[in-house]
Amino acid sequence: MSIVKVEPSVWSHLDGQRQRELRVESDSDGFTVTLRGRQTKVKIEDPRAWSGAGAGKAGSGVAKVATPMPGKVIRVLVAVGDRVESGQGLVVVEAMKMQNELKSPIAGAVKQVQAVEGATVNANQVLVVVESDAS
């Protein structure tokens, strides 16, 4: 299988004996890909922007930020009582030789910090609790 850019917004896809033309055009929401008269919307998101815990996505309430996999706490970036913004780093955890910064999914005040630098943590272990002003 090979994909080759033929001209701007036009790609040639060769799969075995079949050759197809793809058209890729950017729009406000991502890209529109056209293949054999059918259009598909494609949106590319940066996974680093996703919240690790999945809690507090509505932007209010209480967010329990947990590590997605086992690892070691490298740095604790906040303390109880600190004000944090949505997307602000809370804790850095090393897992599989990579450092991952866990971020707050909501703006608010840090209510609990259960992370300790140098400590080993389990998957889904809550490390920081943030409470929004709206709750």
DSSP-derived letter for residue 105 is S
Instruction: Looking at the structure, give the CATH architecture of the domain made up of residues 47-131.
Output: Beta Barrel (2.40)
Query: In whole angstroms, what is the distance from residue 60 CA to residue 55 CA?
Result: 10
Give the model confidence (pLDDT) of 50-107 as tens digits: 655 444 444 568 999 999 889 999 999 999 999 999 999 999 999 888 999 999 999 9
- Model pLDDT for residues 29-56, shown as the tens digit of each residue: 788 888 888 888 888 876 666 655 444 4
For range 118-132, the mean pLDDT: 94
pLDDT score at 53? 46
First to last CA, the chain: 53
Cβ(112)–Cβ(99) under 8 Å? Answer: no
Distance between CA atoms of 115 and 117, rounded to whole angstroms? 7
Query: Is pTM beyond 0.85 here?
Result: no
Instruction: Note the pLDDT of residue 126.
Output: 94
Torsion from C-alpha of 118, 123, 129, 133, nearest 10 degrees: 130
Closest by Cα among 130, 100, 92 to 112:
130
Going from N- to C-terminal start, the domains of the chain cover: 2-42, 47-131
